[in-house]
Structures are given as C-alpha cells and as structure tokens.
Amino acid sequence: MPEDSINNRKLYSERALLIATFFGGPVVAGYMMGQNYKALDEENVATRSFIIGILSSVLMYAALFLFPEQITESIPGALIPGIYTFIIVLIFQKYQKAAVVRHKENGGKFHSGWKAAGIGSLFMIVQLAIISLYVYFAMPDFQINTYDKGIEQFSKNETEALKAYDILQTGTKDEILYSLRENGIDLWQKNLDILDELDKIEGLPDELRQQDALLRRYCNLRLVSYRIMEKMVIEQTDKFTPELDSLQNEINETLKHFKE
C-alpha cells in the first residue's frame, strides 16, 4: 500500500500507550499495538498482539489470586501497574517505536491521549466486571452459618466449664476433681478442637482468624489454670496460688481484647 495512504491512518503514540496500559493492563497494550500494526498493514501481527495481551492479563490475575491475601494486601497499589507498564514500554520500543517515529516524521496522524485514556478505562471496567463475576461464582463462599454454630458451641462449653469455680467453693474433693477434669479440662480441649475446625473454613476473613487466635490463647490459659487447680486439690496445697493468680491476670488481659 502507498506510504501516503498509511500516513493518513492514525496510530497510538508511545505516551498514549503508556497511559492506557497503566489503567487497563497488558490487554490494552495488546489491543493498541495491534491497532497500530493493523494501520501499518500487518494484520497477522495485529491479531497475535491482541491475543498475547489477553493471555498476559489472564496470567497476571491468576498469579495474583494464587498469592496469599496478606502478601497482595501489602503490595503498594501502583507497583504492579508500574511494573507491567514498564515492560510494555520496553516491548513497544523494541518492536514498534521505529515505525511510529517514521509515521510521525512523514506527517502521519495520531489518536488523542483522551481516546487512549478512555480505552484504558473501558478495558479496566470490563476486567473488573469479569473478576467480580469470577469471585462471585467460582470462589468459595465464607460459611458464616458453620462459623456461627462453632462459636455457639464454644460458648456453651465455656459456660459449662466455668461452673467448676462454683464447685470449688462448695464441693467435695471428688466433686471438684470431676468438675475440673470432665467439665473443665475436657471442655477447654474441645473448644481448641472447635477452633481448629473453624480455621479450616475457606474464605474465613482475617478478622475472624485473629479472633480465633485470641480464643485459642484464652483456652490454653484456662487449660493450664485448671490443671494447676487440679494439682492444688490433689496435693491439698496453696503453694501454686501465685502462679494461678498470674495466669488469671493473663486471662483478664486476653479478655480485654474482646471488649475493644
């Protein structure tokens, strides 16, 4: 095709490509470079460019989904767009910049930066919609009912286990030991097992995992204190009272976190 005919077609400049890619990702770069190739009568390369852009975006999002949530949340918002935009610019400079510069020197026309930004925003919206649909239909739902039932059983076990303190004041030695062992130590251990199962729930929010960690600490402190009380009853001694008081202070400090 005559050079004059090509020069009458519009291309996307390097700056326009940079702007659109930052907002819309690699797929935008593939589309815009593909449009440039099409305007330069390189149809086969144009199609390949767009396909590569799509695949690059899919791989990027797949990799991000595979990273643990705490890692992705710690990444600065502009870091990933900055990295893939830098890579795209390098690719553009290697494969297309010479043709674009020549087009400009020959008086060729270019698409406006506003159009490029609009394309970038459009592709961004489409990708967000696709990701939202994927998360809604493919990602596991947080099993709130299962979690609530577990916490409900945890509370029942706790209430029953704490009755041992009442029996300490009025019960016989055998009644106290039975209460500490069967209704105390055994139930605190069951609560630890409940927390282990709750932490296996897929999609469990970080806030609830943190709460479970506090509950686990609380249960372990209770377990140690009940075993000390059991020992005190068996040996009929008060020598472990300071240790028991220290544990109770730790329990009280742990419980304060649930009031904040």
How confident is the model over 14-43, as pLDDT tens digits? 999 998 998 899 999 999 999 999 999 998
Q: Provide the token pair at 236.
A: 């009929």
Name residues whose C-beta falls within 8 Å of residue 130's C-beta, 6 or more positions apart in sequence: none
Is residue 259 predicted with pLDDT exceeding 80?
no
pLDDT recorded at residue 133? 74
Residue ranges covered by each domain of the chain: 3-138, 144-256
How confident is the model over 180-232, as pLDDT tens digits? 998 899 999 999 999 999 988 887 888 888 889 999 999 999 999 999 999 99
What is the CB neighbour count within 10 angstroms for residue 27? 23
Tell me which H or E stretch contains 11.
strand 10-11
Average pLDDT over residues 228-238: 92
Q: Look at residues 97, 107, 127 and name the one whose alpha carbon lies nearest to residue 18.
A: 97
Q: Is the dihedral of CA 63, 64, 70, 76 positive or negative?
A: positive
- pTM listed for this prediction: 0.54
Alpha helices in the chain (DSSP H): 3-7, 14-24, 26-39, 43-66, 69-74, 79-95, 97-105, 113-138, 144-162, 164-170, 173-180, 186-198, 206-235, 241-256
Kindly report which listed range (9-13, 46-50, 70-74, 117-121) carries the lowest average pLDDT score.
Answer: 70-74
